Amino acid sequence: MLDRPGNSVARLIAALDTADLAHAEALAAALAPRCGLLKVGLELFTAAGPEAVRRIAARAPVFLDLKLHDIPNTVAGAVRGLLPLRPAMLTLHAAGGTAMLAAARQAAEAGGAARPILLAVTVLTSLDAPGLADTGVAGSPVEQVLRLGRLALAAGADGLVCSPQEVAALRAALGPEPLLVVPGVRPAGSAAGDQARTATPSEAVAAGADWIVLGRPLTGAADPAAAAVAIAESLAA
């Protein structure tokens, strides 16, 4: 499995959120030397399929962010089907429950030492407290993140995906061992877009994030590579 990042460049995950594989490859070429991983998410995967992972993986390790969520047998089958692509990280929804997460972990073990890091997505960064309440969850986002985080780790997940606003609470409750991957990160002055729970890269890392996921602040920049360099330098300062 992938080791924890050892420097500020390795902490960065560039999200290639596009349906255009050629554009994704161009972004990957520019960003791979300046980031630790490249994210293939649902948009690119549904448009270009496994070939997108193969091509992007030729540039850098892939964070395959599909947020698998189904009955345990189906998720286990999906994990087995993805293992030949050798993603470095793979996401599942923690809300799928203990049996689903455990089935995913069992299926992933077939990958041996090269198996992906299994990350359980807690509460989507687009949800604020009212949005979470609309789904029937009465507690605050941080309460739900902690609840799902404990469940997921007990079921065999290697780490969690959470917003920057829950990182400190997870570290306080769960300690240094769980791997934390944090989207919803926005450099100072950037538009939040559809992200409801955000922080700057430095704030997220200071709170205890292992990796931070950056999409539009990189891919929407006039010079994505320069934007990645600037963020890495801000973390190293």
The string of pLDDT tens digits covering residues 9-64 is 999 999 999 999 999 999 999 999 999 999 999 999 999 999 999 999 999 999 99
**What amino acid positions are annotated as catalytic residues?**
67
Q: Cα(151)–Cα(119) distance, rounded to whole angstroms? A: 12
Q: What is the mean pLDDT of residues 169-178?
A: 96
Residue for token digits 């089958």? 77
- Where helices occur in 35-140 by DSSP H, the ranges are 42-48, 50-57, 72-82, 98-108, 129-134
Q: Cα(222)–Cα(237) distance, rounded to whole angstroms? A: 23
Average confidence score pLDDT of the chain: 94
pLDDT over 70 (residue 193): no
Q: Quick one: pLDDT at residue 96?
A: 98
| Alpha-carbon separation of residue 194 from 14, 183, 185 (angstroms) | 17, 12, 12
Q: Quick one: pLDDT at residue 191?
A: 59
Contacts 24+ apart (CB under 8 A), 20-24: 20/47, 21/47, 21/48, 21/51, 21/52, 21/55, 24/48, 24/52, 24/55, 24/56
Domain map (residue ranges) of the chain = 12-236
Residue for token digits 């599942």? 92
The CATH number assigned to the domain with range 12-236 reads 3.20.20.70
Q: Is the pTM of this model over 0.85?
A: yes
The string of pLDDT tens digits covering residues 49-108 is 999 999 999 999 999 999 999 999 999 999 999 999 999 999 999 999 999 999 999 999
Nearest to 66 by CA among 32, 37, 39, 28: 39
The string of pLDDT tens digits covering residues 102-156 is 999 999 999 999 999 999 999 999 899 999 999 999 889 999 999 999 999 999 9
CA 42 distance to own-chain centroid? 12
The string of pLDDT tens digits covering residues 116-126 is 999 999 999 98
